[in-house]
């Protein structure tokens, strides 16, 4: 089944009791049993929910994974994966991570005796050198946030496999429409489904997908034992959003491509980060492992000051200044003070998150209107 069919049909059947084509919202906390233990596979709302099951199966199919689990947020999904680890374990992560992930690693899990090392994941020898007998997990985001660098999933997966280390990939920026990390050897895929998967800026949702039954069993145990589960209504909203994921991603990608090329020739713009440029340092890898280059673009100004960046962000009309990404409407953001504010200044500068860096989540409006908006804001 092709992706644009899977979004509508994989794991989704009409409701057997009524024929309702839309998956019902099973808004219940518990399920009646005929006699103790005599039930239809549903006991308690945290443990199982039919709306959630459909979403989990659908997301697993989209990622070409055997198993899917949903969580109350992307962070809850990441947190649950971290709970697979034990004190003394080490994690090697990309150095250009979502700010909240960096915060969870360094401010929460470091306290429990898990050690985190960060590297760019561009040089496989450097990655090799960071691995010790205690390394349990490699954590990767590609395209990365906000610099949109691309990490070679197959190369990292090969190293992880050789060393018996899990490779976990946060696939939020690409979405399964553009990239399926399991195909390149990832063991665990994590999503903030709040972003492209939900797509309409109306739900917070997370997901973990995997193929390995032992990993799945542990994660499923944790989903119930820890309890960061999403509501049935949020599962419904996410399922509703997914139905248009294929067409939305095409529009996001086409618009981002047009805007990246527009920005690149603008006299006030210094650099544009977009993996679809054929001179992007990782273009060949992006072309191989992604089906298109995504809806995110970031850029810096020749006037690399906070004030210059803020001036642009105040001036846009269609690009709304807000955290988040991946919704149908275009957003503009300032990583240095917004999404990446929890990253220390020197770390931030090292990875290229300069004061004037502006991140665009390009929506699905008409490209001409978006360009006119940027043109007046940059004037």
Ligand X SMILES: *Cc1c(COP(=O)(O)O)cnc(C)c1O
Does residue 195 touch ligand X according to CB under 6 A? yes
CA distance 312 to 124: 38
Cβ 9 to ligand X shortest distance, Å = 26
User: Kind of pairing, strands 67-71 and 206-210?
Assistant: antiparallel
How many chain residues bind ligand X (CB under 6 A)? 16
Cβ 198 to ligand X shortest distance, Å = 9
Does residue 327 touch ligand X according to CB under 6 A? no
Site for ligand X in 27-86 (CB under 6 A): 73-75
The H helix count followed by the E strand count for the chain is 14, 12
Indicate which single residue of 23, 53, 142, 192 sits in contact with ligand X (rule: CB under 6 A): 192
Task: Tokens for 344, please give them.
Answer: 């220390």
Closest listed residue to residue 99, CA positions, set 156, 152, 149, 141: 141
CA distance 150 to 51: 34
Indicate which single residue of 45, 100, 185, 352 sits in contact with ligand X (rule: CB under 6 A): 100
DSSP reduced 3-state for 20:
coil
Indicate which single residue of 79, 96, 170, 373 sits in contact with ligand X (rule: CB under 6 A): 170
CA distance 131 to 324: 33
Does residue 172 touch ligand X according to CB under 6 A? yes
DSSP per-residue string spanning 148-184:
-----HHHHHHHHHHHT-EEEEE-TTTHHHH--GGGG
Cβ 43 to ligand X shortest distance, Å = 27
Q: What angle do CA 234, 239, 243 make, to 5 degrees?
A: 145
Does residue 194 touch ligand X according to CB under 6 A? yes
Catalytic positions are 46, 98, 170, 195
320: enclosing H helix or E strand: strand 320-321
Site for ligand X in 136-155 (CB under 6 A): 141, 145
Cβ 265 to ligand X shortest distance, Å = 29
Stretch that binds ligand X, among 169-177, 210-218, 271-279, 356-364 (CB under 6 A): 169-177
CB-nearer residue toward ligand X: 78 or 135 = 78
Stretch that binds ligand X, among 10-18, 170-178, 213-221, 277-285 (CB under 6 A): 170-178
CB-nearer residue toward ligand X: 140 or 308 = 140
Cβ 305 to ligand X shortest distance, Å = 26
Rounding to the nearest 10 degrees, give the CA dihedral for residues 251, 253, 255, 257. -160
Does residue 101 touch ligand X according to CB under 6 A? yes
CA distance 14 to 128: 49
CB-nearer residue toward ligand X: 203 or 301 = 203
Stretch that binds ligand X, among 114-122, 190-198, 301-309, 344-352 (CB under 6 A): 190-198
Does residue 338 touch ligand X according to CB under 6 A? no
Query: Rounded to whole angstroms, what are the CA distances from 210 to 1, 137, 257?
Result: 19, 14, 31
CB-nearer residue toward ligand X: 53 or 194 = 194
Residues 32, 36, 38, 43, CA torsion sign: positive
Cβ 80 to ligand X shortest distance, Å = 12
Task: Catalog residues that contact ligand X under the rule CB under 6 A.
Answer: 73-75, 98, 100-101, 141, 145, 170, 172-173, 192, 194-195, 204, 206
């Amino acid at each position: 089944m092709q992706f644009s069919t899977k979004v509508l049909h994989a794991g989704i059947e009409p409701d057997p009791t009524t024929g309702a084509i839309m998956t019902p919202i099973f808004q219940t906390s518990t399920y009646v049993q005929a006699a103790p233990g005599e039930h239809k596979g549903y006991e308690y709302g945290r443990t199982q929910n039919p709306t959630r099951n459909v979403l989990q199966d659908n997301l697993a199919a989209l990622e070409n994974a055997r198993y899917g689990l949903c969580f109350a947020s992307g962070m809850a999904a990441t947190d649950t994966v971290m709970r697979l680890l034990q004190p003394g374990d080490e994690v090697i992560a990309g150095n250009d991570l979502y700010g909240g992930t960096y915060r969870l690693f360094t401010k929460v899990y470091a306290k429990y005796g898990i050690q985190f090392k960060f590297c760019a994941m561009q040089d496989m020898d450097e990655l090799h050198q960071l691995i010790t007998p205690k390394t349990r997990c490699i954590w990767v985001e590609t395209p990365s946030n906000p610099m949109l660098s691309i990490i070679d999933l197959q190369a990292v997966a090969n190293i992880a496999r050789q060393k018996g280390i899990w490779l976990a990939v946060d696939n939020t920026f690409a979405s399964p429409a553009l990239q399926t990390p399991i195909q390149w050897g990832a063991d665990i895929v994590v999503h903030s489904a709040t972003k492209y998967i939900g797509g309409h800026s109306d739900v917070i949702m997370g997901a973990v997908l995997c193929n390995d039954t032992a990993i799945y069993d542990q994660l499923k145990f944790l989903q119930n034992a820890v309890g960061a589960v999403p509501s049935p209504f949020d599962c419904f909203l996410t399922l509703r959003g997914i139905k248009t994921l294929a067409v939305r991603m095409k529009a996001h990608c086409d618009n981002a491509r047009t805007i990246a090329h527009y920005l690149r020739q603008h006299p006030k713009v210094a650099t544009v980060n977009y993996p679809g440029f054929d001179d992007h340092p990782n273009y060949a890898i992006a072309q191989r492992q992604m089906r298109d280059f995504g809806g995110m673009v970031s850029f810096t100004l020749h006037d690399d000051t906070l004030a210059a960046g803020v001036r642009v962000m105040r001036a846009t009309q269609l690009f709304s200044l807000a955290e988040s990404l991946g919704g149908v409407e275009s957003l503009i953001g300032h990583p240095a003070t917004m999404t990446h504010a929890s990253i220390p200044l020197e770390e931030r500068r090292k990875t290229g998150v300069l004061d004037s860096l502006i991140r665009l989540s390009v929506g699905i409006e008409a490209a001409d209107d978006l360009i006119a908006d940027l043109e007046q804001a940059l004037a």
